[in-house]
């Protein structure tokens, strides 16, 4: 490999887009690696004009993939959120949308052998120390991208990719409610602090003076509300044992409200400085799990299902996102929650080398 180039595949994963790289093609130390990642994306620059980034947080992401060192997993996946206007590389959170491209990428790069019908890629998420299984359609041993699955926030249809999240109760803190309570009062508002895939703070939108059905641009323009939201997020982070959240993407935060389009609950999810144009997969899972648990701010609004297999439809600015929760009938929630599944789509956009 030339010292001026790095093999790179640009992919859409769910409602995000990012660069997918093999760990073996990058420097082994963070100090040497991070400047290269920033260079590839063109950060820091509001337009990311000198790199692959799309000038938004949803298109300034990276997946770093390698063969797994664990016997029960096929690949290790590290997610990196690349700052747009800042020279930050945040490997604290994970991204369920970018994750949806990891399965096809691992097959295309020869890390996993494709089956004749479908291929399950067993993933170890390095950032959250948790397991996911990605089911990729591979008829005839070839990754299929064309299909009838549609996801709100992405035009057209594509082949469905099923992601099953297996370690969803407290992957970071060891408990699904790190404060010890399903609901707390934080900075004068009712909040649920939940650790599921990513740590997320859930609030009632009306307590922030919002309906919860605003378009993202209107929420982004409400600077006093954003400042209050950040104050709540930082206080919640301390209460969750995550430390000072200033300058960090975690915990994320979401405003909840009753549904108005046939869903179970409505959400406006923040990244955390801007409202998401659609919704993060990890945030939707956190909301779906909170909705099953008595006493949370998600449980007391919206509609709820019963049974061992429950679907929670989360409404968001671009449409909706369905989360399938599987429960053990012999346990009580939240311990009864075994896994969460979600359907995404993904496709390669470009494969080649990035000049650095």
pTM: 0.91
Averaged pLDDT of the chain: 96
Domains, the chain: 5-166+345-355 (3.10.310.10), 184-334 (3.10.310.10)
Residue 304: per-residue pLDDT: 73
- Could you tell me the pLDDT band of residue 2, with boundaries at 50, 70 and 90? very low
| Angstrom distance (rounded) from CA 10 to CA 53 | 10
pLDDT in tens, 169-219: 999 999 999 999 999 999 999 999 999 999 999 999 999 999 999 999 999
pLDDT of residue 329: 93
Q: Could you give the CA distance from residue 136 to residue 142 in angstroms, rounded to a whole number?
A: 10
pLDDT at residue number 3: 59
pLDDT in tens, 126-136: 999 999 999 99
Q: Is 287 helix (H, G, I), strand (E, B) or coil?
A: helix
Contacting residues for 223 by C-beta, under 8 A, at least 6 apart: none
Task: Look up residue 209 and give its two tokens.
Answer: 């003076």
CA end-to-end distance (rounded Å), the chain: 12
Express each pLDDT in 303-320 by its tens digit.
777 889 999 999 999 999
Mean local confidence (pLDDT), 11-18 = 97
Q: Radius of gyration over alpha carbons of the chain, in Å?
A: 19
Contact between 319 and 266 (Cβ < 8 Å): no
pLDDT digit string (tens) for 245-270? 998 899 999 999 999 999 999 999 99
């Amino acid at each position: 490999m030339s010292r001026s180039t790095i093999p790179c595949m640009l992919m859409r994963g769910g409602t995000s887009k990012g660069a997918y790289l093999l760990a073996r093609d990058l420097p082994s130390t963070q100090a040497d690696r991070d400047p290269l990642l920033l260079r590839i994306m063109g950060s820091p620059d509001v337009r990311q004009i000198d790199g692959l980034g799309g000038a938004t947080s949803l298109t300034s992401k990276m997946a770093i993939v390698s063969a797994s060192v664990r016997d029960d997993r096929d690949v290790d996946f590290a997610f990196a959120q690349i700052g747009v206007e800042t020279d930050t590389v945040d490997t604290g959170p994970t991204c369920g949308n970018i994750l949806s491209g990891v399965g096809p990428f691992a097959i295309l790069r020869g890390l996993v052998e494709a089956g004749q019908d479908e291929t399950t890629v067993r993933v170890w998420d390095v950032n959250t120390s948790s397991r996911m299984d990605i089911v990729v359609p591979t008829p005839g041993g070839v990754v299929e991208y064309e299909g009838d699955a549609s996801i709100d926030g992405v035009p057209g249809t594509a082949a469905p990719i099923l992601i099953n999240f297996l370690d969803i109760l407290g992957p970071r803190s060891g408990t699904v409610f790190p404060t010890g309570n399903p609901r707390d009062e934080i900075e004068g508002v009712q909040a649920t602090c939940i650790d599921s895939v990513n740590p997320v703070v859930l609030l009632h939108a009306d307590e922030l003076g919002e309906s919860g059905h605003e378009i993202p641009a209107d929420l982004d323009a409400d600077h006093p509300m954003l400042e209050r939201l950040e104050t709540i997020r930082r206080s919640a982070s301390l209460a969750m044992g995550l430390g000072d959240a200033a300058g960090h993407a975690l915990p994320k935060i979401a405003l909840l409200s009753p549904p108005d389009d046939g869903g179970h609950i409505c959400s406006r999810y923040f990244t955390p400085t801007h409202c998401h144009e659609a919704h993060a997969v990890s945030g939707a899972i956190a909301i779906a799990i909170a909705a099953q648990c008595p006493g949370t701010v998600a449980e007391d609004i919206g509609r709820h299902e019963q049974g061992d297999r429950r679907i929670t439809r989360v409404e968001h600015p671009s449409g909706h996102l369905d989360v399938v929760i599987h429960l053990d009938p012999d346990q009580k929630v939240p311990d009864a929650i075994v896994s969460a599944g979600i359907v995404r789509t993904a496709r390669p956009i470009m494969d080649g080398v990035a000049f650095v």
